[in-house]
């Protein structure tokens, strides 16, 4: 059963009842035992919502990738009180982003690491879907901005222009699911809290559009905002008024985008908010294995029912196995993937070895099939002892063998075309064991060889210094906790957390960046007790309400103050006098445009400061604004008591600033933990945090435990979906035949194509279009699926595939409807193909076929209320419940205070002096 509203409801409903019963039982046991410790699970609303989200994600793994993508990329209407305007980021902005990435990579890295410069620029749509979002209450009077020649949406964009605080929000979803629709309810809340506008982007997703496709799209959004193309309604957004924000994969894309802008010398935004950023795709930190039970991430990672799209190899039989004992000696060393760009010696060794073994076997032998003599396969300890794969870098950061390459470039190019990286080796727990080799791609976003690239796993950046101020949030119960804590400290202390030598040697920019960007980045890190991945999903919890308020204040502070001011103090908590928070922002959350958070949990329990201890009674029933004010004072005490990290500066200068009532200057990093009620406390010293004790050589390494956990789940899925995998193979053959027929008929109808590139003008190209064709040549569309000569796209990328329905749809559109500039003709669709399309649910006889669900939004047809809208309604219900409960709590507290006051004031009075209020 695919992922639909009905199937999701059927799967999740029993979870709701089961969670309720377990919650009641657990609370009863705690009450009976007199256990007064406070945990996130004690809030029934969070307990239910956590298990609903976890159950949905696990349900998604029992379906195909495309099914989950389609469900979460379905267009759903926005609430009536919100101003949401869909816009299209044009190809011109996409091309600016592509040019920036081409400059960043350079020709060698593009060819050998990325796989070329063309395949990742190919897309089905002529635009990227995006949205402007704000509160209708914030819009300027239409009488002042209305233009008769503009549409209603365009006039709405103009009515937002006075809101100069802009948040570019990049949604999460493990790089392969989710959309602007799944996260709109969160983004609306940010826009409301910061009294500004937000811009969200529906970037292309893996595995159809793997790395660096999503990175190109979010960069295109940045250029669209800061340098609008002709015809755009909005004015340029100055980077000083812009903040990047994102969660999970989206937060990692924001961080990666910052490093690209920094490296290219382009303006960075005023700040960035990173919520649970996924920055290490190799899963090399301890919390990945320790926090599975307390997180929403599936136990075996993101594995899925086989489909023509994913996995690339749907069956483990037939000579293909996902993980095997190693058959070759190093390189690569255990824990590492092989080089995508080898040195000269490695290259010639493999050419010789493959040619020899191919001759012996009587067929072509690939690198995954290479075998060394069994007596040469040693234990991991012996392999590491004889580590020849990590020679010292030269002054230029490359091995000396590379200097020999230029002596005979033609032979080198031929050898490079023959080169295939050997399978990655797994770092074993037992040093005496023989390492395993990975033959399958684990992550959907990138190949295993690419996982250690700094633009894939930002934790491996040689430096995270010289970035704009960062506000980083993590849940203490999430699997990614350790890597989040690590990157926060790495950004604030570039010299103390270097990248491992292999990253410096292999990356063209990394050695240069390690020396160039040593200025510490100012960071505010908060780790929330008991919270799971992306705690802001659960908007109704007390700590999430505080997080939204704190994020809003950060956005206001960095966009409202000058760059000179932010150099002195980027932290709103240390702003003096404290920034204003209008009274309207404290109103009831039940009214759409205002907020007034709290919950039954806050009312029934008391906050803890050091973990497990109760807070004073007067800390109950506070709004998020009151809570923020309280935490603001705590942050100041942290600075005064030396618990916040400060930059070296003159002590007397600090005292003078603080005495004069100005901002508290020279603070480098604020490190805090936040309890389930939203109260902050200083974080323990770095020396006591396990994640910060890892050596650089241990980070970005493929380790045994995560691999075995993934493999156990994959083998279970192989058994469970054996028949589905067999059907996938048959379907792929049908799609390949369909693509071949499509190409053959297109050539018969006059398709002429070359690879010169987008050089001719539209006028000269238009003459080549068939008068009977419904299509056109898009000048800004640089490349199409027929332009991949000398390219090596990843196996899952649909640009290079012909064996999935989405790949065929992309091929058909770029031939018959919106051809790239390399096409000289747009042929007319053959009548027989049009007839077939009538009876094909994946096709259309006259219009372009629906493009990949990883790119193009779908529309709900059968069910009037989509599951995403139901989830948003559920969150709103929880918010209303929590608000009403705190209002009742406040009334009760006020009544109790009045009663106590009356009793106290009546102590010194005679009975005759006392008055009695009538019943």
Cβ atoms of 761 and 816 within 8 Å: the answer is: no
Looking at residue 919, what is its pLDDT? 37
Give the separation between CA 863 and CA 873, rounded to whole angstroms.
Answer: 16
Q: DSSP readout, 121-161?
A: G--SSSEEEEEEEEEGGGSPPHHHH--TTS-HHHHHHHHHT
Going by the DSSP 8-state scheme, the letter that residue 31 receives in this structure is H
Looking at residue 1, what is its pLDDT? 65
Give the separation between CA 468 and CA 247, rounded to whole angstroms.
Answer: 18
Residue that the structure tokens 């974080």 belong to: 683
Give the separation between CA 400 and CA 741, rounded to whole angstroms.
Answer: 50
- The residues near 657 (Cβ < 8 Å, ≥ 6 apart) are 663, 664, 665
Give the separation between CA 262 and CA 455, rounded to whole angstroms.
Answer: 13
Environment class of residue 38 by beta-carbon count within 10 Å: exposed (0-12), middle (13-18) or buried (19+)?
buried
Question: Nearest 10 degrees: CA dihedral of 6, 7, 10, 11?
Answer: -150
Give the separation between CA 366 and CA 419, rounded to whole angstroms.
Answer: 9
**Does the N-terminal peptide bond of residue 292 adopt cis geometry, omega within 30 degrees of 0?**
no
Looking at residue 28, what is its pLDDT? 86
Tokens of 890: 């406040």
Give the separation between CA 795 and CA 784, rounded to whole angstroms.
Answer: 17
Tokens of 59: 């349900």
Looking at residue 30, what is its pLDDT? 82
Looking at residue 433, what is its pLDDT? 92
Helices (H), 161-281: 180-194, 213-226, 249-263
Tokens of 506: 């292999």
CB atoms within 10 A of CB 800: 18
Residue that the structure tokens 């950046």 belong to: 461
Looking at residue 418, what is its pLDDT? 65
pLDDT digits (tens, 9 = 90+) for 328-348: 888 888 888 888 777 777 777
* β-pair partners for 645: 669
Give the separation between CA 224 and CA 547, rounded to whole angstroms.
Answer: 29
Out of 67, 248, 276, 316, the active site residue is 248
The length of the chain is: 919
Compute the Cα dihedral for 72, 121, 170, 195 and give only its sign.
negative
Q: DSSP readout, 567-624?
A: HH---GGG-SSPPP--GGGGS-TTSTT------HHHHHS--BSSTT-BPPGGGTT--H
Backbone phi and psi for residue 196, each to the nearest 5 degrees, phi listed first: -150, -155
Stretches in the chain below the pLDDT threshold 70 = 1, 143-146, 316-320, 386-418, 582-622, 649-661, 754-774, 861-869, 871-919
Residue that the structure tokens 């023509």 belong to: 308
Enumerate the domain spans of the chain: 1-72, 76-314+444-537+688-720, 323-439, 573-683+860-898, 723-845
Environment class of residue 14 by beta-carbon count within 10 Å: exposed (0-12), middle (13-18) or buried (19+)?
exposed
| Predicted model pTM | 0.88
Cβ atoms of 445 and 281 within 8 Å: the answer is: yes
Task: Clarify whether 770 is annotated catalytic.
Answer: no
Give the separation between CA 272 and CA 255, rounded to whole angstroms.
Answer: 8
Going by the DSSP 8-state scheme, the letter that residue 541 receives in this structure is S
- The residues near 182 (Cβ < 8 Å, ≥ 6 apart) are 72, 171, 173, 868
Going by the DSSP 8-state scheme, the letter that residue 67 receives in this structure is H
SS3 706: helix
Task: Give Rg (Cα) of the chain.
Answer: 29
pLDDT digits (tens, 9 = 90+) for 84-111: 999 999 999 999 999 999 999 999 999 9
CA atoms within 13 A on the CB side of 833: 22
Looking at residue 347, what is its pLDDT? 74
Class of domain 76-314+444-537+688-720 (CATH, top level): alpha beta
């Amino acid at each position: 059963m695919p992922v639909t509203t009905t199937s999701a409801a059927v799967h999740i409903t029993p979870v709701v009842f089961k969670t309720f019963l377990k919650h009641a039982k657990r609370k009863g046991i705690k009450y009976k035992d007199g256990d007064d410790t406070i945990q996130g699970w004690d809030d029934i609303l969070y307990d239910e919502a956590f298990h609903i989200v976890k159950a949905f994600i696990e349900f998604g793994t029992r379906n195909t990738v495309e099914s989950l993508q389609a469900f979460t990329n379905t267009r759903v209407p926005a609430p009536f009180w919100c101003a949401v305007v869909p816009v299209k980021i044009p190809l011109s902005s996409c091309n600016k982003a592509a040019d920036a990435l081409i400059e960043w990579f350079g020709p060698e890295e593009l060819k050998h690491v990325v796989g070329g410069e063309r395949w990742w620029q190919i897309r089905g749509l002529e635009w990227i879907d995006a949205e402007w979002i704000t509160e209708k209450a914030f819009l300027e009077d239409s009488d002042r901005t209305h233009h008769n020649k503009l549409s209603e949406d365009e006039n709405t964009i103009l009515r937002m222009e006075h809101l100069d605080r802009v948040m570019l929000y990049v949604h999460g979803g493990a790089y392969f699911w989710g959309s602007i629709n799944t996260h709109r309810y969160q983004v609306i809340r940010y826009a409301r809290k910061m009294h500004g506008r937000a811009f969200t982007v529906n970037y292309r997703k893996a595995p159809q559009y793997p790395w660096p496709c999503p990175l190109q799209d979010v960069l295109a959004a940045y250029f669209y905002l800061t340098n609008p193309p002709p015809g755009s309604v909005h004015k340029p957004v100055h980077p000083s008024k812009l903040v990047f924000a994102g969660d999970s994969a989206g937060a990692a894309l924001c961080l990666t985008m910052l490093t690209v802008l920094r490296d290219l010398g382009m303006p960075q935004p005023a700040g960035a908010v990173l919520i649970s950023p996924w920055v290490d795709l190799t899963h090399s930190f301890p919390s990945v294995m320790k926090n599975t039970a307390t997180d929403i991430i599936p136990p075996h990672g993101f594995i899925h029912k086989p489909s023509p799209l994913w996995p690339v190899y749907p069956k483990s039989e037939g000579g293909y196995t996902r993980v095997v004992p190693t058959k070759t000696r190093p390189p690569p060393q255990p824990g590492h993937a092989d080089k995508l760009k080898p040195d000269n010696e490695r290259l010639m060794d493999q050419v010789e070895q493959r040619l020899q073994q191919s001759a012996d076997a009587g067929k072509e032998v690939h690198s995954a099939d290479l075998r060394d003599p069994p007596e040469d396969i040693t234990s991991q300890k012996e392999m590491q002892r004889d580590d020849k794969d990590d020679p010292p870098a030269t002054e230029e950061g490359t091995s000396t063998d590379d200097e020999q390459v230029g002596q005979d470039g033609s032979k080198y190019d031929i050898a490079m075309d023959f080169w295939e990286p050997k399978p990655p080796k797994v770092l074993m727990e037992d040093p005496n064991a023989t390492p395993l080799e990975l033959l399958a791609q684990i992550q959907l976003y990138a190949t295993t060889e690419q996982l250690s690239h700094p633009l894939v796993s930002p934790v491996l950046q040689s430096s995270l210094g010289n970035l704009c101020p960062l506000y980083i949030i993590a849940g203490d119960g999430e699997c990614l906790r350790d890597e989040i804590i690590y990157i926060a400290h790495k950004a604030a202390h570039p010299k103390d957390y270097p990248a491992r030598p292999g990253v410096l040697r292999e990356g063209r920019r990394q050695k240069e960046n390690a020396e160039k960007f040593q200025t510490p980045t100012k960071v505010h890190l908060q780790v929330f007790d008991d919270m799971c991945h992306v705690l802001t999903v659960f908007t109704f919890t007390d700590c999430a309400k505080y997080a939204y308020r704190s994020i809003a204040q950060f956005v206001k502070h960095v966009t409202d103050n000058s760059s000179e001011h932010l150099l002195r103090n980027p932290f709103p908590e240390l702003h003096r006098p404290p920034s204003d928070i209008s009274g309207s922002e404290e109103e009831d959350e039940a009214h759409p445009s205002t907020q007034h958070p709290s919950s039954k949990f806050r009312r029934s329990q008391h906050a803890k400061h050091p973990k497990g201890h109760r807070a004073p009674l007067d800390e109950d029933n506070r709004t998020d604004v009151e809570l923020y004010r309280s935490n603001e004072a705590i942050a100041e005490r942290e600075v005064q008591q030396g618990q916040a990290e400060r930059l070296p500066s003159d002590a007397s200068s600090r005292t003078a600033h603080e005495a004069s009532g100005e901002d508290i200057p020279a603070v480098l990093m604020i490190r805090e933990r936040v309890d389930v009620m939203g109260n902050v406390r200083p974080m323990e010293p770095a020396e006591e945090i396990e994640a910060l004790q890892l050596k650089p050589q241990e980070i970005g390494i493929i380790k045994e435990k995560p691999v075995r956990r993934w493999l156990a789940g994959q083998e279970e899925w192989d058994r469970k979906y054996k028949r589905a995998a067999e059907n996938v193979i048959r379907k792929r053959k049908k799609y390949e035949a369909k693509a071949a027929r499509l190409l053959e008929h297109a050539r018969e109808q006059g398709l002429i194509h070359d690879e010169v590139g987008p050089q001719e003008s539209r006028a000269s190209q238009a003459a080549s279009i068939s008068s009977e064709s419904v299509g056109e040549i898009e000048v800004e569309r640089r490349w199409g699926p027929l332009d991949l000569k000398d390219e090596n796209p990843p196996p899952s990328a649909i640009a290079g595939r012909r064996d999935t329905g989405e790949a065929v749809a992309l091929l058909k559109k770029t031939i018959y409807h919106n051809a790239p500039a390399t096409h000289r003709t747009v042929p007319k669709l053959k009548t027989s193909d049009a007839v077939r399309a009538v009876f094909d649910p994946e096709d259309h006889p006259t219009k372009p076929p629906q493009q990949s669900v990883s790119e193009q939004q779908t529309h709900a047809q059968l069910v009037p209320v989509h599951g995403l809208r139901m989830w948003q309604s559920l969150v709103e219900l929880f918010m209303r419940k929590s608000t009403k409960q705190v209002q009742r709590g406040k009334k009760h507290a006020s009544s109790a205070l009045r009663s106590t006051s009356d009793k106290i004031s009546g102590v010194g009075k005679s009975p005759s002096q006392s008055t009695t209020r009538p019943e």
